[in-house]
A = this chain, B = another copy of it.
Amino acid sequence: MTQRLLGEIYRDYIACLNRQDWPTLERFVDDAVVHNNRQLGLRGYRAMLQRNFAEIPDLAFNIDLVICDPPRLASRLCFDCTPRGDFLGVAVNGRRVSFAENVFYEFAESRIVRVWSVIDKAAIEAQLAG
């Protein structure tokens, strides 16, 4: 897997999320995917994403930065959206917030097998307090 090809696969994965194209997700996510040390599997991973879109109707994934070293890739994702109610335990309640997610992926062949994600909760709280 070349660096360039892995970068392209990753961009296609993010486009798939933004289309909410759930049947295609299996091209990018392994059956046994582990997310933040939880063995979600493809079904659990899809359910997590669907829940995210239900809770944040205007959710969109924007790639700010990609660092690629096959079989691993790190990405900084930026969000500008309006969660309906609570998000990460913060009562956002339909206000607009901007925040980043720094996320690491491990691929096996062309599919994601592990994800280590951290979302900038402190930035969300700071905006709502301001």
Contacts and interface: CB of A to CB of B under 8 A. Distances in A.
Contact of A118 (B65, B72, B89, B101): B101
A42 interface: no
Contacts of A116: 65, 76, 100, 102
Nearest to A64: B116
A40 interface: no
Contacts of A117: 102
A76 B105 CA distance: 11
Given A118-B119, A118-B120, A121-B121, A104 B69 contact: no
Q: Quick one: which of A73, A76, A118 has the most chain B CB within 10 A?
A: A118
Interface in A70-110: 72-74, 76, 88-89, 100-104
Nearest to A68: B69
A76 B36 CA distance: 12
A128 interface: no
Contacts of A8: none
A50 to B, nearest CB: 21
Interface string A119-130: 111100100000
